[in-house]
Amino acid sequence: MHSLFYVLFHPLNTLNLWLEDDPNASIVDVLYLFTTFSAFGIWLVFDRYQKAVNSAMPFHHPAPEAADPSWDSRVIPNANLRSHLQMPDLLPLQFGGGGREYITCFDPANNLHLTSALADDARSIEAKIKRAKNAQVKWCETSFGERRRVMRSLMKWLVENQELCARIACRDSGKTMIDAALGEILSTCSKLEWLINHGERALRTETRYSNLMMSYKKSQVIYEPKGVVAAIVSWNYPLHNAWSPIVASIFAGNAIVLKASEHVIWSTEWFVGAIHKCLEVLGYDADIVQTVCCWPDQAEALTKSPLIKHITFIGSEEIGRKVAMAATEHLTPVTLELGGKDPAIILPDTDLQKWSSIWMRGIFQNSGQNCIGIERLIVHSKQYDELFDILTERVAKLRFGSVLAPTREGYINTVDCGSMISNDRFNVLEELVFQAQEDGARVDIGGKELLHTSCQGKSFFQATVVGDAKPNSRIAQVEVFAPIALLIRYDDIDDAITIANGTRYGLGASVFGPHQDLCIEVAKELHCGMVSVNDFGVYYLDQDLPFGGTKSSGYGRFGGSEGLRSLTNPKAIVTDRWPSFVQTTIPKVLDYPIRSLVRSWDFVHGLTMLLYADGYRARFNGLLQLTKARR
């Protein structure tokens, strides 16, 4: 211990740079100090270099005028995606015909015209795919460190511009700022953080276990980029649904062609534009990310392209089946995340007041337009009346509107729910509620279109509570994707599990109860891809988990190592562990031409016994047979 203190402190106590008047002074003192400061200086230089090459790079992406709450535009009566056909003056001034189609973009909460976007045709889609392919050749050579820097730069920009991004999502989809913060910002930051911290681990070369026969070999798996991949995503979260597949794909070394929903083209192109800016500032070719804006009848130019090596689809079951069929043209692998009818099983003696806020968020988040939203509350008969009263009282207080509609107090209206993306499905929703009532369900509140008094949009639907729904009724079997709470009674836990599993869907689920062990037992019985216990949808915020469903909710996973690896080509490579000493040779008894069928069979039979027989005696006999056959 004395020597340790001497080494650490002696040079500082006895230092004499001129080596004068001190019999204990030594040149070692000078060298010690010089070495210490040199090492510290080298570390500082290295640390600054690492920060310079790995830290987030700031960049600027101009905000669109429509993100300003005071922005005003032309109000489109009965706005829809083809409003430009009835109102040609909505088309851009440079419109010259030529057979190209357009898509009308508008704020669904206020019917304000945003732009009229030129729709891609098959030719332009093919050109974008080729540009992505050419850019990917160089991008796939980047290191994980370089890709992480892109992720850090994007996350820094997103955190610093989260209010702007939320406003843009609200403008294009009608949602609220809180819905945007939870569903767009937090979830995307979680995705980026996981890629930064764990993405390389998921794609790093792996050494796999071997067996006795292959003990002299080394088995590895490398994850190679596929090339150009595609993502066809839904409109309910325009920022997250665009960024999530993009950042995963480019982190895996791919280029990506994103086909955004025609409902949110305006915001999607701006969100993707931020990624382009980031790539350009860091010196990379932004062509690795392409955005396609087209009508569904042109989408096969993407799904049937031989250059596309993987497709991620997020949307309805109907369209998902068409995408999967089109992908068979070139056997393109597909990940499908389709609809859901997610149940929340409420076990007996659950504290209803305690969890009611989570159920409200699970049902009415994003006005019910949430793929993992709670579509069915399955509650014990003894607690049904209490839960119905709790929900009815709380739902009656929900306020609908637009957070971007100017008011005297400022742009942030105090609203709980925004508009839906359009009113195209309102007749279907009203019919579902009406049929449920005909079948004996109780509807004390909601069930119809909401005619808003201050917002000019026609896409608001009343918050609805449907009680005493029959498990086999149509409203309990189809995905409503709307602000509708559906209550179903059960008498015993086995019945609750049967009801929960009794639809064609199997995406997510929740189980609530006072005893976690029982909740876990019930969760294991559910036919779905993900379950939250005493919570809602939290499995998506943990991006280390795979996300996806079973049955008609799709197949494949995105999220976690499973999702990231699905965007790569896993290649197995087997090499010699000690190539200078041991390599594979063909025993003479097995070499062509076979000299003796009996001896060759005895050799292989003995080898199999030696390696895999049950018991040491049998294995020893296999060794003897092997040795005898080799003579």
Q: Which residues have a catalytic role annotated?
A: 337, 371
Q: Please answer whether residues 165 and 184 qualify as being in contact, where contact means their C-beta atoms are separated by less than 8 angstroms.
A: yes
Task: Give the Cα separation of 597 and 23 in Å (integer).
Answer: 89
Q: Which residues share a beta bridge with 345? A: 378, 511
Nearest to residue 228, comparing CAs of 136, 143, 127?
136
Buried-exposed string 537-571: b where 16+ CB fall within 10 A, e elsewhere: bebbeebebbbbbebbbbbbbbbbbbbbbbbbeee
Phi-psi region of 487 (alpha: psi -120 to 50; beta: other; left: phi over 0): beta
Q: Please answer whether residues 66 and 267 qualify as being in contact, where contact means their C-beta atoms are separated by less than 8 angstroms.
A: no
Task: Give the Cα separation of 111 and 174 in Å (integer).
Answer: 10
Q: How many CB atoms lie within 10 A of CB 319?
A: 17
Q: Please answer whether residues 387 and 346 qualify as being in contact, where contact means their C-beta atoms are separated by less than 8 angstroms.
A: yes
**Which residues touch 265 (CB under 8 Å, ≥6 apart)?**
103, 105, 117, 293
Residue 539, token pair as written in the block: 């499995």
Strands 308-314 and 228-232: parallel
CA distances from 564 to 153, 215, 545, 558, 575 (A): 20, 30, 11, 7, 26
Q: Please answer whether residues 199 and 251 qualify as being in contact, where contact means their C-beta atoms are separated by less than 8 angstroms.
A: yes
Q: Please answer whether residues 342 and 358 qualify as being in contact, where contact means their C-beta atoms are separated by less than 8 angstroms.
A: no
CA 559 to chain centre: 5
- Phi then psi dihedrals of residue 247, to 5 deg: -65, -35
Give kind and range of the element (H or E) at residue 207: strand 206-208
- Phi then psi dihedrals of residue 543, to 5 deg: -75, 5
Task: Give the Cα separation of 348 and 587 in Å (integer).
Answer: 69
Q: Which residues share a beta bridge with 50? A: none
Q: How many CB atoms lie within 10 A of CB 330?
A: 13
In sequence order, what DSSP letters do the residues of 266-302 get, joined into one string?
HHHHHHHHHHHHHHHHTT--GGGEEEE---GGGTHHH
Q: Helices in 513-596 by DSSP H: which ranges?
A: 516-524, 560-565
**Contacts by 478-481, CB closer than 8 A, 24 or more apart:** 478/341, 478/432, 479/339, 479/340, 479/341, 479/375, 479/505, 480/368, 480/375, 480/429, 480/432, 481/339, 481/368, 481/369, 481/370, 481/373, 481/425
Rounded to 10 degrees, the C-alpha dihedral 588/589/591/594 comes to: 140
